[in-house]
Amino acid sequence: MPQAIWTGSISFGLVMLPVKLYPATSPKRVRFHEFDGSGRRIRHRRVIEEPQAGFGFGFDDLPIVAPAPDAPPRVAGSSPSWQEPAEDEPDRADRPVAYQDVMLGYEVAPGETVLLSRDEVRALAPERSRTIEIEDFVDLASIDPVHFEKSYYAVPQREAGAERAYALLARAMDDARMVGIGRIVLRTREHLAAIRPKDGAIVLETLFHGDEIRDTKELLAPTAVAEEPSQREVTMATQLIELLRAAWDPSRYGDRGRERLLDAIAAKAKDAGTIKPAEAEPTGADVSDLMETLRASVEAAKARAAEERAG
C-alpha cells in the first residue's frame, strides 16, 4: 500500500469531502548506479567550475542584504556560513561546495544570471493548503490530453465518514460527463488540477498550465504542410484506420525496451554473477559475547572428547 502524499478535502459548493491522495501510477524505469571497472561505486560531488565569460555579474555586483543587528553584512542570497576560502584551500575550480552554500541561478538573458538562495526561493513558495476548492466544472472532452501531467487517486477518509459524499460526487460527475477544475499545493508548488470520476472512484489529474503548452504553429513551418489531401486519399486513410480499430487494452502494450534490458541484466547475472558488497572490517567482538562463545566451544569439545573415549 503506497503512502498518501496529501491529506485534505475536496470542496464543491458547501460540500466538504475529506480525502487522501495516492499516486495512481508506479513508473517502472530501470535505474542504474555508476561504478568503475573494478565494481566500486562512483559518487558525484558539487564543485566549482571555471569562471565563464559573460556571466551576468560577480560577487562585487551583488546587492547587500540588510543584516540582523548583531550580524555582519553578507552577499545577497548567500548562506550565512559562506566565507572566503582559507589560504590552505584556494578558490580553485574543483573545490567542493557544501550543500548550504549552493546558490540557485536563473538565466534572465543570454550570459546574464540572477542568483537566489534556497531560503529566498523557499520564502516565495505557496502556502500549503488542505482544501481543493472546485472552481468550475467543464466537459472532460474539452481538455486536450496534452494538458494532463500526473494522476492520483483521491481516496475517502473513512474515519471521517466521507464515503457517501465521495460516491455522490463521483456519480454526479459521471452522469454529467463533467470534471471539476481546482488548485492544489503539493510539496512547494501549486498545481492546476482536474478532478474526474473513474470506475466509481475519483481521480485527480495535475494539469500543465496553458502557457506551458507549445503552440503547434511554432513547430510547423509554413512549408511543412503541403497542399490539402484529396478526398480519395482521406477515404483510403479512413478505411485503414477502421481496419486497425481495436478496443483499448493497456496490457497489450508492454514496455518492450525495459523488458529487453531486464532480460539482458538477468542473462548477465546468470553468466557473470553479481557484485557483492565488500565485507566490513572486523570491529572486535564484545568481550562477554566472545567469552560465551569460547565457553560453549570448550564444552562442545569436551563432549566430543568424552564420546570418543567412551566409544
- The model carries a pTM of 0.67
Stronger pLDDT, 215 or 309, i.e. the higher one: 215
Stronger pLDDT, 94 or 81, i.e. the higher one: 94
Return the residue matching grid coordinates 560577487.
Answer: 59
Question: What's residue 91's pLDDT?
Answer: 58
Range with the poorest average pLDDT among 101-105, 213-217, 301-305: 301-305
Convert the pLDDT of each residue in 273-286 to its tens digit: 777 766 655 544 44
Question: What's residue 221's pLDDT?
Answer: 67
Cα distances (Å, whole numbers) of residue 130 to 43, 184, 249: 39, 8, 36
Question: What's residue 164's pLDDT?
Answer: 87
Convert the pLDDT of each residue in 165-219 to its tens digit: 899 999 999 999 999 999 999 988 899 999 999 999 999 999 999 999 988 887 7
Task: Evaluate whether 136 touches 178 at the Cβ level (below 8 Å).
Answer: no
Q: Is 284 helix (H, G, I), strand (E, B) or coil?
A: coil
Task: Evaluate whether 74 touches 117 at the Cβ level (below 8 Å).
Answer: no
Q: What is the mean pLDDT of residues 256-268?
A: 89
Convert the pLDDT of each residue in 139-159 to its tens digit: 999 999 999 999 999 999 988
- How many other CB atoms are found less than 10 A from the CB of residue 255? 13
Dmax (CA) for the chain in angstroms is 106
Cα distances (Å, whole numbers) of residue 154 to 11, 87, 161, 234: 13, 57, 15, 43
Question: What's residue 188's pLDDT?
Answer: 83
List the one residue out of 20, 2, 15 whose CA is nearest residue 184.
Answer: 20
**Highest mean pLDDT pick, 188-197, 223-232, 250-259:** 188-197
What percent of the chain has pLDDT above 90?
A: 30
Convert the pLDDT of each residue in 9-60 to its tens digit: 999 888 889 999 999 888 788 888 888 777 788 888 888 876 554 444 333 3
Q: What is the mean pLDDT of residues 76-97?
A: 55
Question: What's residue 204's pLDDT?
Answer: 97
Distance between CA atoms of residues 81 and 74, nearest Å? 10
Q: Which three cell numbers stand for residue 23?
A: 499516486
Stronger pLDDT, 304 or 200, i.e. the higher one: 200
Q: What is the mean pLDDT of the chain?
A: 79
Distance between CA atoms of residues 43 and 39, nearest Å? 13
Cα distances (Å, whole numbers) of residue 199 to 21, 115, 170: 17, 48, 9
Range with the poorest average pLDDT among 8-12, 68-72, 93-97, 243-247: 68-72
